[in-house]
Amino acid sequence: MMTETAPALRIGVAGLGTVGAGVLKILAAHGPRLSTHAGRPLVLTAVSARNRAKDRGVDISQFEWEDDPVALARRDDIDLLIEVIGGSNGPAKAAAEAALARGAHVVTANKALLAAHGGALAEMAEEKRAGLRFEAAVAGGVPIVKALSDSLAANAISRVYGVLNGTCNFILTEMERTGRDYQDVLAEAQSLGYAEADPTADVGGWDAAHKLALLSTLAFGASVDLDGVSVEGIERISESDIRFAAELGYRIKLIATASRDGGQTLQQVAPCLIPAESAIGGLDGVMNAVVCEGDFVGQTVFEGPGAGEGPTASAIVADVLELARNGAQPVFGQPIQRLTPLRRMPPENVSAPYYVRLKLVDRPGALAEVTGILGGTDISIHQMRQIGGTPDPASVVIITHEARDGDLRSAVAKITNLEVSLAPPMALRIERA
């Protein structure tokens, strides 16, 4: 309940794109109710963006205006800065630093900024006793940051994995649904606004990598280690791979996974086969989902919209409420000084079953050359089949038993160099659900 003596929390918004405008709409629609929930008035004081005259579908004339987001962050009538500019450096970083330097809270949806500079920003926030919250940065409207920081804190987390990029999930879902190829569906995603004109960060896996680096820190109490994330995108996935996977009972998803074993942590973003009947396997369209595995709670699944105006703005406002109620808390769930450097698990030492698609010359002995290489590299075959309906009778799909990643890569390199190999093999890890 709001008391008469509770001071207002004065808010500035830096960036009035889709998400920033969404925040203004939520505050306009639900301001009095949100202030009651917060226990103090929430007052939007000033805003900043590149173009003051742009129509954003919300009235900004009642707010003070700053052309420079850093000037906004330095205003003495701003207690909390919402940063939705984007980018790992430049104005976003400068504005966040300016706010924290004078002890103002910061709420951000900027995963690139935090993946690159999260440790330094957290140190500054905790030194100044300011809050830095980022629920919207990891999975949009999915409340996974609070879950790992608070709700699952009683558990030792062994594994966090899921689909963290809605653009890739939309593309793979549409390829499966329509039988169209990657480039065609990518163009549609761009036309619908799901993918940028330069989609590299999304389809190349880097957007998911930024988010995974933050999840690893929350899950394992380790310093943010973006450089330790192994990254592969979906550009090489073909309609044939999606069809073959479906006939084997799998779907292909871009999976971000962080797992800990013996004090070492694997961070990996890559397209994988995952059982179609699993929680992640059933995910369609632009949705995100995160699975957490804890020693006491077992497996928990968090699913919801991972991007867009409404879900992302909703997560930002939730962070504002949390800061209004409880003030500054450790940024990554525990004081920054207690975070330990992450000990990386070399990806080549990880074992898993693999899907391998081969395109071979159709002649006697061709397949024997391949199986000889696999056997000589300590890789055993679980299934091998020619998928029905393929137009090329020389296409063969192999499912291996568990194999070391390093051995699998070595075998693929040798098969690529065979005269009977018509194209480099496609190898995808099979992820356990």
* Count of residues making up the chain: 433
Q: Are residues 49 and 193 in the same domain?
A: no
Work out whether strand 9-14 and strand 287-294 pair parallel, antiparallel, or are unpaired: unpaired
Q: Are residues 299 and 190 in the same domain?
A: yes
Q: Are residues 88 and 152 in the same domain?
A: no
Q: Are residues 123 and 53 in the same domain?
A: yes
Q: Are residues 104 and 161 in the same domain?
A: no
The pLDDT assigned to 387 comes to 61
Bridge partners of 48? 14, 66
pLDDT truncated to tens, each residue of the chain (433 aa)?
455 568 999 999 999 999 999 999 999 999 999 999 999 999 999 999 999 989 899 999 999 999 999 999 999 999 999 999 999 999 999 999 999 999 999 999 999 999 999 999 999 999 999 999 999 999 988 999 999 999 999 999 999 999 999 999 999 999 999 999 999 999 999 998 888 889 999 999 999 999 999 999 999 999 999 999 999 999 999 999 999 999 999 999 999 999 998 889 999 999 999 999 999 999 999 899 999 999 999 999 999 998 888 999 999 999 999 999 999 999 999 999 999 999 999 889 999 999 999 998 888 888 899 999 999 999 999 999 876 444 455 689 999 999 999 999 999 999 999 999 999 999 999 998 7
**Cα–Cα–Cα angle for 205, 207, 209, rounded to 5 degrees:** 70
Q: Is residue 414 part of a domain?
A: yes
The pLDDT assigned to 173 comes to 96
**Residue where a domain terminates, one of 273, 305, 337:** 305
Q: Is residue 329 part of a domain?
A: no
The pLDDT assigned to 124 comes to 97
Of the candidates 10, 271, 229, which has an alpha carbon nearest to the alpha carbon of residue 115?
A: 229
Q: How many domains is the chain built from?
A: 3
Q: Is residue 212 part of a domain?
A: yes
Write out the residue range of the structural domain in which residue 357 sits.
349-430
For residue 298, what is the domain's CATH number? 3.30.360.10
Q: Are residues 268 and 218 in the same domain?
A: yes
The pLDDT assigned to 394 comes to 64
For residue 75, what is the domain's CATH number? 3.40.50.720
Q: Do 145 and 138 contact (CB within 8 A), yes or no?
A: yes
**Residue where a domain terminates, one of 124, 139, 154:** 139
Q: Is 211 a catalytic residue?
A: yes
**Residue where a domain terminates, one of 139, 163, 186:** 139
Q: Are residues 97 and 217 in the same domain?
A: no
CA 234 distance to own-chain centroid? 14
**Cα–Cα–Cα angle for 21, 22, 25, rounded to 5 degrees:** 90
Q: Do 332 and 218 contact (CB within 8 A), yes or no?
A: yes
pTM attached to this predicted model: 0.93
Q: Are residues 195 and 131 in the same domain?
A: no
Q: d(Cα 138, Cα 111) in Å, to the nearest integer?
A: 7
The pLDDT assigned to 389 comes to 45
For residue 354, what is the domain's CATH number? 3.30.70.260
Q: Are residues 276 and 356 in the same domain?
A: no
Q: Is residue 327 part of a domain?
A: no
Q: d(Cα 43, Cα 372) in Å, to the nearest integer?
A: 70
Q: d(Cα 15, Cα 430) in Å, to the nearest integer?
A: 41
Q: Is residue 216 part of a domain?
A: yes
User: Of 93, 111, 211, 253, which one is the catalytic site residue?
Assistant: 211
Axis crossing angle, helix 90-101 with helix 111-128, rounded to the nearest 10: 10
Q: d(Cα 30, Cα 46) in Å, to the nearest integer?
A: 18
Q: For residue 400, give both structure tokens.
A: 């291996």
Q: Are residues 73 and 163 in the same domain?
A: no
Q: Are residues 48 and 96 in the same domain?
A: yes
Q: Is residue 343 part of a domain?
A: no
Q: Are residues 270 and 177 in the same domain?
A: yes
Q: What is the 3-state secondary structure (H, E, C) of the chain?
A: CCCCCCCCEEEEEECCCHHHHHHHHHHHHHHHHHHHHHCCCEEEEEEECCCCCCCCCCCCCCCEEECCHHHHHHCCCCCEEEECCCCCCHHHHHHHHHHHHCCCEEEECCHHHHHHHHHHHHHHHHHHCCCEECHHHHHCCCCHHHHHHHHCCCCCEEEEEEECCHHHHHHHHHHHHHCCCHHHHHHHHHHCCCCCCCCHHHHCCHHHHHHHHHHHHHHHCECCCHHHEEECCCCCCCHHHHHHHHHCCEEEEEEEEEEEECCEEEEEEEEEEEECCCCCCCCCCCEEEEEEEECCCEEEEEEEECCCHHHHHHHHHHHHHHHHHHCCCCCCCCCHHHCECCCECCHHHCEECEEEEEEECCCCCHHHHHHHHHHHCCCCEEEEECCCCCCCCCEEEEEECCEEHHHHHHHHHHHHCCCCECCCCEEEEECCC
Q: Is residue 322 part of a domain?
A: no
Q: Is residue 235 part of a domain?
A: yes
Q: Do 304 and 141 contact (CB within 8 A), yes or no?
A: yes
